[in-house]
Structure 1
Amino acid sequence: MAGEAAGREDTLEHGWRVLRRLAGRHAGFFTTRQVLRTGCETKVRAGLGEGSVTRAGVGLLRLAEWPDGPLDEYAMWAAWFDGAAAVSHQSAAELHGIGRLRPHFLHMSVGKGRPPVTPRLVVLRRPLAGIDVESAGPFLVTTPVRTVLDLAESDIGQLALNEVVADALAIRRCDDDEIQSASTRSTPRAAERLRRALTAL
């Protein structure tokens, strides 16, 4: 019997290590789904009681040892989607420092997963290739070129797109050859909008 108890304890400790590793990818955030998958319900319940785990939202928790940071909201939603999401569109432009779009919502492109019920998040369903995303620490963000392309395909005004493209080139987040090359993978409308943005420089 002692061997069975030790085996259960080892399994629980292994599950806790796995959960902490998952949380570590996203600034300490993790989901109740991950808790169930790792078998850590008892440990997390105890952590909520003693304060080492805090509630971050419906279905979202956080290890209290992680300090608050300015990009926590991005990390939290990346955890919700198990890392299968990237900050994109206007939100990515803001992170890259290109344009002055001042988004009212957080835009995320998501390959899979159930979106949360929140008015704050705009979820765009689409797969993203590895060349279209880059790491921003605890979450992924679309590359500057992919961001420019996404915005050309969206409904932002031409003047706003011109500013995004001008900023991207001015601060060397990408160059005009990259933008022209990317436009060939886009819709005719977006390609024309990008051509106008480049000639407006």
Structure 2
Amino acid sequence: MNDYRDPDSDWWALRQLARRHAGYFTTRLVWRTRCEARIRTGLDDGSVIRVGVGLLRMTEWPPGPLDEYAMWSAWFDGAAAVSHHSAAELHGLGRLRPRFVHMSAGDGRLPSAPGLVVLRRALEGRDVESAGTFLVTTPVRTVLDLAEAGIGQDALTEVVADALAIRRCAGAEIRHAAAILPPQTAARLRRALARA
């Protein structure tokens, strides 16, 4: 049985996977693609940099304002989404000014990062949308998440009013989606819709 692997093909695969997340990738991915030697060379010549424990980045990608979201998405191999307060900020909903990056992930090893809040839950495809180098919860899912998280009623009303005003979602969508929530949370959303 031939166990030959083409190092150039492995390197190409690693680069394609890193491209999905603005050049970020994990050491787990390096091991899976068998590119350890190439990464050691890249660390020596500066074409790859360490950005955290278990996280690296190809330096050819320019820095961007949303890099932190792409980096954490890479940590979870793309199986996580920016959610809650952080998603509201990205969608332009309310003035929550999150101090942490909020991500929702079904599984995967949790990183040790003081500025990161990870909520363990599986999201369905209809609950997320692409933001280029990471996923973000849809505006409707974000509104539901914030209502469930228990933000103040005034803040929730502002989030809902913004979602309606900039047409990120319709009141009927929120009402319909709220039907699956606990009664107290659904009532909070109905109050927010009535005031919006």
> TM-score over 0.5 for the alignment?
yes
Aligned partner (choices 102, 116, 132) of residue 107 of structure 1: 102
Q: Which runs of 4+ in 1 moved over 2 A?
A: none
Residue in structure 2 matched with residue 62 of structure 1 by the alignment: 57
Matches within 5 A, 1:165-176: 165-176=160-171
For each residue in 1:18-47, what CA deviation from the matched residue of structure 2 results, as whole angstroms up to 9, or x when unmatched? 100110100000000000000000000000
What TM-score, normalized to structure 1?
A: 0.95
Any stretches of 5+ residues in structure 1 without a counterpart? none
- Secondary structure at the aligned position of 1:134 is classed as strand
Aligned partner (choices 82, 94, 104) of residue 87 of structure 1: 82
Residue in structure 2 matched with residue 141 of structure 1 by the alignment: 136
Any stretches of 5+ residues in structure 2 without a counterpart? none
- Secondary structure at the aligned position of 1:15 is classed as helix
Contact map agreement 1:106 1:122 (CA 8 A) in 2: yes
Residue in structure 1 matched with residue 179 of structure 2 by the alignment: 184
- Take 1:84 and 1:20, find their aligned partners in 2: how far apart are those partners? 18
For each residue in 1:120-153, what CA deviation from the matched residue of structure 2 results, as whole angstroms up to 9, or x when unmatched? 1000000000000000000000000000000010
What TM-score, normalized to structure 2?
A: 0.97
Aligned partner (choices 7, 28, 33) of residue 33 of structure 1: 28
- Take 1:190 and 1:119, find their aligned partners in 2: how far apart are those partners? 29
Deviation at 1:200, TM superposition (A): 1.1
Contact map agreement 1:153 1:189 (CA 8 A) in 2: no
What is the CA RMSD across the aligned residues, in angstroms?
1.2
Residue in structure 2 matched with residue 196 of structure 1 by the alignment: 191
- Take 2:39 and 2:157, find their aligned partners in 1: how far apart are those partners? 49
Amino acid at match of 1:58: V
